[in-house]
Amino acid sequence: MDKTTMIVLGVLAGLVVLIVILKAVRARQDRLYGEEEETVAAETVPAIANRAELAAVVASCVAEVMGKDISGLRIVSIKQVG
């Protein structure tokens, strides 16, 4: 076999070994931290009690950052992300 073929096979073998190592690390992390993530996801998020107050706070913060008067802003909708 020529030199180029050996280099290509060496790189391929290195990539395969790297993939195996990464899969082993991921499996280990899933075993260690998998239970904690499931319990966090199971918790429910409480609903926002006063949406008008939230809209006022958001408008105030945005107006302050933009350096404009709050009366020039209008919040059309607020959607929960996530």
List the domain boundaries for the chain. Answer: 1-43, 46-82
pLDDT class of 21 with cuts at 50, 70, 90: very high
DSSP string, 5-57: HHHHHHHHHHHHHHHHHHHHHHHHHHHHHHHHHHHHHHSPPPPPS-HHHHHHH
Query: Which amino acid type is present at position 57?
Result: V
| Residue 70 scores a pLDDT above 60 | yes
Contact 73, 62 (CB under 8 A): yes
pLDDT class of 42 with cuts at 50, 70, 90: low
Task: Give the per-residue pLDDT at 1.
Answer: 78
Contact 78, 51 (CB under 8 A): yes
**Quick check: pTM over 0.85?**
no
